[in-house]
Amino acid sequence: MSNRIINWFKFASPQSFYPLAGKMIPWFWALAVAFGIAGLWISFFVAPTDAQQGEGYRIIFVHVPASWMSMFIYLIMAAWAGLGLALKTRLSGMMAQALAPTGALMALLSLWTGALWGKPMWGTWWVWDARLTSELILFFLYIGFIALQAAIDDPRRADKAGAILALVGVVNIPIIYFSVKWWNTLHQGASVSLTKSPSMAQTMLWGMLIMALAFWMYSIAVALMRVRAIILERESHSDWVKELREVKS
C-alpha cells in the first residue's frame, strides 16, 4: 500500500510529470482525432434527419458535448485546486491553471452553438432559459478564475487564491442553477423552454456520446500541452529544467 502511495506522489512532482505528459499527449491526440472522425461520421451520415427539426438538430452533436465538458472541466479544475490546497502539491495548481482556458472555451462554444441552434429552431439567438443563463454565468466564473490568477504574480499565491475561488464557485454552481431555473419558470410567458427535447433515437445518443469522448480526449490533450508549458515557466530556474534535452540542444 505504502509503495503505491509513493508511486503516485512520484508523478505528482512536476519533474517526473513533465516527460510523462509529453509521452501521453500524442496518444490523447490520436484518440481525439479517431473519436472525432467517428463522431462526425455518425452525426452527418448515420443519424437520420429529425422529423421536427430537420437538419438543424445536428448542432446537438457539438452543442451537448461542449456543454458537458464546460461543466466537467470546472468540477475537475476545482478538484485539482482543492487537492492542491489540502496536500500542497505543486502540480495540482498547475493542472487547475491549465484546465481553466479549455473550460472557458467549452463554455463559449456551448453558448455559440446554442445561439446558432436557437435561431432556426425557436426564432431567436438567445432566450433567457435556465440552461443558457447558467452556462453564461459559468463562463463568467471561468473568466473570473483566469483573471484572478493572471493578476497575482506569485504563482503559489495565485494557485491558492484561485483554489478558494474555484471551490466557492463549485458550491455556488448548483445554487445558481436552481435560482436561475426558479426565475425562469416565473417568467415562463416570455421565454421558450429548451428543456423539452423529443425522445432521442439510439443513433443520436451514440453520436453524442462518441463526440463527448472526442471532446474529453481533446481537452485532456490540450490541457497536458498547456501544463507542460506552465511547468517550464514556473520551474525555469531549477536544475532539472536546465538539463532537459530540449533546452540543451
Chain residues binding other proteins by CB under 8 A are 40, 44-45, 48-49, 54-56, 58-59, 62-63, 66, 101-102, 105, 108-109, 112-113, 116-117, 119-120, 137, 140-141, 143-144, 147-148, 151-153, 157, 160-161, 164-165, 167-169, 171-172, 175-176, 179-180, 182-183, 186, 218, 221-222, 225-226, 228-229, 232-233, 236, 241-242, 244, 246-248
- CB-facing half-sphere around the CA of 136: CA atoms within 13 A: 12
CA distance 125 to 119: 5
Please, are residues 29 and 216 in contact by the beta-carbon 8 Å criterion?
Answer: no
Q: Which is nearer to other proteins, 164 or 205 (CB)?
A: 164
CA distance 176 to 213: 27
Task: State the minimum distance, in angstroms, from the CB of residue 143 to other proteins.
Answer: 7
Task: State the minimum distance, in angstroms, from the CB of residue 225 to other proteins.
Answer: 4
Q: Which is nearer to other proteins, 167 or 194 (CB)?
A: 167
Q: Which is nearer to other proteins, 79 or 108 (CB)?
A: 108
Q: Which is nearer to other proteins, 12 or 136 (CB)?
A: 136
Dihedral in degrees, nearest 10, Cα atoms 205, 207, 208, 210: 120
Q: Which is nearer to other proteins, 10 or 88 (CB)?
A: 88
Q: Which three cell numbers stand for residue 5?
A: 502511495
By the 10 Å C-beta count (0-12 exposed, 13-18 middle, 19+ buried), 124 is classed as exposed
Task: State the minimum distance, in angstroms, from the CB of residue 16 to other proteins.
Answer: 18
Task: State the minimum distance, in angstroms, from the CB of residue 175 to other proteins.
Answer: 5
Measured in whole angstroms, how far is the alpha carbon of residue 38 from the centre of its chain? 21
Dihedral sign (CA 2, 4, 8, 11): positive
